[in-house]
Amino acid sequence: MDLENLFTPPFSGELLAKRKKIRRLLLEGGTDFMDKRIAVLGGSTTHDVTGVLELFLLRHGIRCAFYESEYAQYWQDAMFPNPELEAFHPDIIYIHTSNRNVSRWPELADSPEAVEDLLEEEYGKFAAMWDRLAQTYACPIIQNNFEYPYWRLMGNRDASDVHGRVNFVTRLNLRFAEYAQSHKNFYLNDINYLSAAFGLEQWSAPFYWHMYKYALSLPSVPCLAQSVANIIKSLYGKNKKAFALDLDNTLWGGVVGDDGPENLQVGQETSMGQAYSEFQAYLKAHKQLGVILNVVSKNEAENAMAGLRRPDMTLTPDDFIMVKANWEPKSQNLMDIAHTLSLLPESFVFVDDNPAEREIVRQQTPRAAVPEIGEKPEQYIQAIDKMGYFEVTDLSSDDAARTEMYRQNAARSRAETSFADYGEYLRSLEMRAEIRAFEPLYFSRIAQLTNKSNQFNLTTRRFTQAEIEAMAADGKYITLYGKLADKFGDNGVVSVVAGEKTEGRLDIILWLMSCRVLKRDMEFAMMDVLAEQCREQGIDEIRGYYYPTAKNGMVRDFYEKQGFAKISEDETGNTVWRLDISGGYEQKNHVISVNHQ
């Protein structure tokens, strides 16, 4: 069974018809699953929605337990005491409603004021539910907005007249969007867009409602499930981070080594050139999200650069962090870029027009994304965009600056090669750290790091922003974030440590660091400040915990390097470590200047 094709739009009926078999294959083939609990509160039948959602989440490495409300009981489950849901302790709540759940539509006889009141009443019902859920469960909430009605009483006037259902849905969706803009941990699943892209008549086929009380047709369920899964995987740090891009017949038409840079198809002179330019503009826009661009091309380096320097190129050499133009296997070049930038190969989306190259990269780097972009450049954008590789659930200033941060990292890597002594190299960076207790300015970034950091992450616990805020306000915790800058630039918040105080002991529940500052001794600077905090608060013992995953093997011996003694290890490799600081503590950081208060 070709799982790659099954999870690539347009989706076949196999995801529904062979759901149990696909689920078994995903569970057997996966390792290092993240376990989560998802409550699905439905305004219609949700059985197949939940079943297919599970497949997409397994595909992203997220194994879920589900709570499903009874048919159309979403409001009751949310607004009234619900011991079963409370005992379930959801990590995420997904509210699957549709325009079938609009309580009352405007009538042509209604005054504009009455329609406005009706709009407020309808919106108020949902807003009250979201507020109640946030207060009760303190977890992310995902809410469908509304698809347009599949019929229009007034035809085109339905969109402009206040009595029109199209107008009413448009205004409701805007109110939902305004709520999302002003409330953290609330996310809209845009079925208004999904239904339009799928085809509204096919999406809303009334047969499925009248026969099964499905608010959407069964063929459209995978499209919905993929969209919800994209939000969830983004929340838990499963997004891709970088492109690895071919050049010939991918970013431009033609082969630069054969045709010469002057004869490439790009720019506004031909329809084909326009298609390649539009694709370049699409890729360049991703830099605003912090997605980094790299080139992996079988070419002579000087030919590749000549092509990129054409004056009508939308993408220029400055837009790329690394350009690998040589005759080495592209899979190897991708791995080299990943190593240099301290990223996992699975963080990359490899884009190449050549199906043979795509297959080689799939085989050699099986967790990297390799979209089937086809052979027509005008279809490249859709082939990538519909996969949701870079779904945005939070956009921080660090994201916008990420391209420059990785450019600085590449410069650090080049500088490292000029030093024979690694300590001398670290001192040459002139590093400066700011290490402080969690504070509101960085709550969002701290939560983001807990959900995105996989390699340097000792406990792999994930926290929502609400949980980070609660921890910061609770005196039983010691919390620290670390920012690191050097002569090449500012890396922002890169490390997070949190521990719970218990009778003279601190139990570390969270210790992680961004991959972009690995091997810079930031972990020693954090340890020094943590030990200082403990001694100031009368804590003589620090306990550390390491829970192994498929990705965090690099920190298996972390506590030993910090001077801890191992006190236990179970059959799965979980270890517990102890550091006695009652007799004093020796500083371990000697290369970073630390500002702490």
**What's the pLDDT at 397?**
67
Give the per-residue SS3 of 308-345. Answer: HCCCCCCCCHHHEEEEEEECCCHHHHHHHHHHHCCCCH
What SS3 class is residue 455? coil
**What's the pLDDT at 158?**
98
Task: Write out pLDDT tens, residues 364-412.
Answer: 998 899 999 998 999 999 999 999 999 999 877 667 677 777 777 777 7
Q: pLDDT grade, residue 423 (50/70/90)?
A: confident
**Over residues 543-549, mean pLDDT:** 93
User: How many angstroms separate the Cα of 429 from the Cα of each of 75, 197, 435, 555?
Assistant: 57, 50, 18, 24
**Over residues 546-564, mean pLDDT:** 91
Angle between helices 402-416 and 330-340 (to 10 degrees): 90
**How far is residue 554's CA from residue 571's CA, in Å, rounded to a whole number?**
19
**Over residues 463-473, mean pLDDT:** 90
**How far is residue 228's CA from residue 12's CA, in Å, rounded to a whole number?**
18
**What's the pLDDT at 369?**
96
For residue 414, the Cα-to-chain-centroid distance in whole angstroms is 29
**pLDDT for residue 141 is more than 70:** yes
The helix (H) or strand (E) run that includes residue 64 is: strand 62-68
**How far is residue 352's CA from residue 231's CA, in Å, rounded to a whole number?**
26
Half-sphere exposure of residue 176: CA atoms within 13 angstroms, side-chain side = 26
Task: Write out pLDDT tens, residues 171-180.
Answer: 999 999 999 9
Q: pLDDT grade, residue 182 (50/70/90)?
A: very high
**pLDDT for residue 194 is more than 90:** yes
Residues 505 and 542 sit within 8 Å (Cβ to Cβ) = yes
**pLDDT for residue 580 is more than 90:** yes
**pLDDT for residue 596 is more than 90:** no
**pLDDT for residue 415 is more than 80:** no
**How far is residue 453's CA from residue 435's CA, in Å, rounded to a whole number?**
19
**Over residues 43-65, mean pLDDT:** 96
Distance between first and last Cα of the chain: 57
Task: Write out pLDDT tens, residues 279-304.
Answer: 999 999 999 999 999 999 999 999 99
DSSP state of 520: S
**pLDDT for residue 29 is more than 90:** no
Based on its alpha-carbon atoms, the radius of gyration of the chain, rounded to whole angstroms, reads 26
Domains within the chain, CATH numbers bracketed:
3-235 (3.40.50.1110), 242-385 (3.40.50.1000), 429-596 (3.40.630.30)
- 177-191, 482-496, 538-552: which has the highest mean pLDDT? 177-191
Q: pLDDT grade, residue 209 (50/70/90)?
A: very high
Least confident window among 176-190, 281-295, 444-458, 573-587:
444-458
Q: pLDDT grade, residue 31 (50/70/90)?
A: confident
Q: pLDDT grade, residue 515 (50/70/90)?
A: confident
**Over residues 489-497, mean pLDDT:** 91
**What's the pLDDT at 321?**
93
**pLDDT for residue 359 is more than 80:** yes
**pLDDT for residue 114 is more than 70:** yes
- Which comes out higher in pLDDT, residue 390 or 455? 390
Averaged pLDDT score across all residues of the chain: 93
**How far is residue 120's CA from residue 105's CA, in Å, rounded to a whole number?**
12
**What's the pLDDT at 101?**
97
- Which comes out higher in pLDDT, residue 3 or 115? 115
**What's the pLDDT at 402?**
74
**What's the pLDDT at 400?**
67
**pLDDT for residue 473 is more than 90:** yes
Strand partners, 499: 478, 508
Q: Among candidates 206, 153, 243, 232, which has minimal Cα distance to 44?
A: 206
**Over residues 339-361, mean pLDDT:** 93
Burial class (CB in 10 A: 0-12, 13-18, 19+), 228: buried
Q: What angle do CA 175, 177, 183 make, to 5 degrees?
A: 105
Least confident window among 73-82, 90-99, 528-537, 550-559:
550-559
**Over residues 405-425, mean pLDDT:** 77
- Phi, psi (degrees; rounded to nearest 5) at 464: -80, 165
Length of the chain: 597
**Over residues 115-124, mean pLDDT:** 97
Q: pLDDT grade, residue 554 (50/70/90)?
A: confident
**How far is residue 63's CA from residue 66's CA, in Å, rounded to a whole number?**
10
Q: pLDDT grade, residue 481 (50/70/90)?
A: very high
**Over residues 348-369, mean pLDDT:** 93
Which strands make up the sheet holding 477-486, listed edge to edge?
A: 565-569, 575-580, 541-546, 505-513, 489-502, 477-486, 431-436, 592-596
Strand partners, 541: 505, 580
**Over residues 5-18, mean pLDDT:** 93
Q: What angle do CA 119, 124, 126 make, to 5 degrees?
A: 110
**Over residues 189-195, mean pLDDT:** 98
Strand partners, 502: 505
